[in-house]
Amino acid sequence: MKRIYFLWILLLSAPFIKANNIQLANVLLNGQNTGSQYSIINFDVSWENSWRTITNETNYDGAWIFVKFRKKTSNTWQHATIDASGATAPTGSVIQTSADGKGIWIYHTLPGADFTGNVNYTGAKIRWDYGVDGVLNTDSVEIRVFALEMVYIPQGAYLLGSGGTEENHFIEGSKTTPYNVTSESAINVANTAGNLYYNDDNGLGGDRGGPIPANFPKGFKAFWIMKYECSQQQYVDFLNNLDLARANNRYTGIYTGTHPNLVAPQPERAANALSITDELAFADWAGMRPFTELEYEKACRGSNQVPIPNEYAWGNTTAATTSLVTNLGLDNETANNGNINAAGGMGTPIRTGIYATATSDRQQSGGTYYGVMDMSGNVNELTISVGATQGRAFVPNQGDGNLDASGDANVANWPATSNGYALRGGYFNDAVAQCRLSERYYGSVNTTYTSRLTYLGIRLARTAE
């Protein structure tokens, strides 16, 4: 009987990317059980600038890890189903398998004191139920393992809007003060006390309709969000691990080479020139989902924090535009000045997480309260809007890892029109003021759903379990 065997491993986060330097190593497929039709996937994973705190709401980072496979007789990659039983967590780590089996989270165990530093988890083991995925005991397969750095956003109440002068910003009713989100219950939208409201200053704020249903994620409940914006390397790895027909519909034209060996020209930079359909396809493929504009503000501001009017993602109003970098376009690209890529200072996306170092503080790194990077500037964050019927109908279903025949996402209850989305955080050519945390200049996107936009990047989330 031929054993299932491991042929090749490809890293989604390339080892030469400096800030999000997540690396997978020593991947091995063994321990086949032909009776129960599973095998064990072994791997090591490491990344830089990790943390877990016992203060600050026990905030921590981690990695979302998922597996793709294809039968050697097929060109179609499929998503592997992971079983919660049989996992072995390396010393100092926790492995948590998602309820739908689409992947695992790995993160630091709860320490006796706040932990910060690099992590290297060796000897991780997870169980692949290949029989569930239609693989026979006698099939030969190729597997590839992928990892994305994530940040855990804990459950808790928070204030929505800063009380500043941002376009279309959230307020409580007719007041100028922020709105307190205290649960995931439905939220009424009205210009009266106790309700959520916002002005439509520029015709792009949204319809001010409601209510916002209970199913719509409001940021109160815990969730995970990508620590960095998707890089060019991560997007090209996505393309290279689709069959040609699907990849052709997701190809943006900025990559060199031929499929399945496309090459990113600046692999460390935030991917851009993407469409909403491109982002949703990546989300579905990775077993993730888009996040809402309310979750965006929670991930930036933090729970029970008093907003500062007109603040940026790092919690104050001090923003200095980057106009000069060292090693432009290289994997070790470093900002010589500033803490935000905006106002045309660079005129292009720059390396994801460029401002974060082992010693940088929140303002210097451009990090949010919970440590999410580049939420102000670089490329826009695509979020689900509360300002349109299509957005408010969003249900946070996770991607199942498999795209339709055209390479599109096929997840129920994700908005299928552009006005179901909002652009938050600004981008590299926006005025600095448009990068403010509570700025909703594009609270309801007015563009073609499939148009590729120079300012649009990818950042995704997954509901915590």
pLDDT tens, 93-104? Answer: 999 999 999 999
- CATH of residue 213: 3.90.1580
What is the residue range of 204's domain?
A: 158-465
- Cα distances from 152 to residues 45, 53, 107, 456, in angstroms, run 18, 11, 10, 24
Whether the predicted pLDDT of 447 surpasses 80? yes
Residues 223 and 462 sit within 8 Å (Cβ to Cβ): yes
Asked if the structure places residue 298 within a domain, the reply is yes
Asked if the structure places residue 11 within a domain, the reply is no
The pLDDT value recorded for residue 21 is 82
Q: Taking residues 364-382, report their average pLDDT.
A: 97
Least confident span in 118-132, 287-301, 317-331: 317-331
| Statement to judge: residues 180 and 135 lie in one domain | no
Whether the predicted pLDDT of 256 surpasses 60? yes
Tally the domains of the chain.
2
pLDDT tens, 27-84? Answer: 999 999 999 999 999 999 999 999 999 887 789 999 999 999 999 999 999 999 999 9
| Statement to judge: residues 313 and 440 lie in one domain | yes
| Statement to judge: residues 302 and 357 lie in one domain | yes
CA contacts within 13 A on the Cβ side of 329: 3
Boundary of a domain, candidates 117, 133, 153: 153
| Statement to judge: residues 31 and 112 lie in one domain | yes
| Statement to judge: residues 181 and 279 lie in one domain | yes
Q: Taking residues 460-465, report their average pLDDT.
A: 98
| Statement to judge: residues 343 and 457 lie in one domain | yes
Asked if the structure places residue 1 within a domain, the reply is no
Cα–Cα dist 163/160, whole Å: 9
For residue 109, give the amino acid letter: T
The pLDDT value recorded for residue 10 is 35
| Statement to judge: residues 183 and 303 lie in one domain | yes
Cα–Cα dist 56/356, whole Å: 19
Cα–chain center distance at 365 = 18
Asked if the structure places residue 3 within a domain, the reply is no
What count of other Cβ atoms lies within 10 Å of the Cβ of residue 358?
Answer: 9
Cα–Cα dist 56/302, whole Å: 9
Asked if the structure places residue 454 within a domain, the reply is yes
Asked if the structure places residue 32 within a domain, the reply is yes
| Statement to judge: residues 148 and 179 lie in one domain | no
- Cα distances from 117 to residues 50, 58, 149, 154, in angstroms, run 5, 16, 14, 21
Cα–Cα dist 322/324, whole Å: 6
| Statement to judge: residues 105 and 50 lie in one domain | yes
| Statement to judge: residues 127 and 173 lie in one domain | no
Boundary of a domain, candidates 98, 132, 153: 153
Whether the predicted pLDDT of 19 surpasses 60? no
What is the percent of the chain where pLDDT is above 90? 91
- Cα distances from 299 to residues 207, 256, 421, 439, 459, in angstroms, run 24, 35, 18, 15, 12
Residue with tokens 């026990």: 58
| Statement to judge: residues 148 and 257 lie in one domain | no
Asked if the structure places residue 17 within a domain, the reply is no
Boundary of a domain, candidates 153, 180, 207: 153
pLDDT tens, 159-197? Answer: 999 999 999 999 999 999 999 999 999 999 999 999 999
What is the percent of the chain where pLDDT is above 70? 96
| Statement to judge: residues 133 and 197 lie in one domain | no
Whether the predicted pLDDT of 233 surpasses 60? yes
Whether the predicted pLDDT of 16 surpasses 50? no
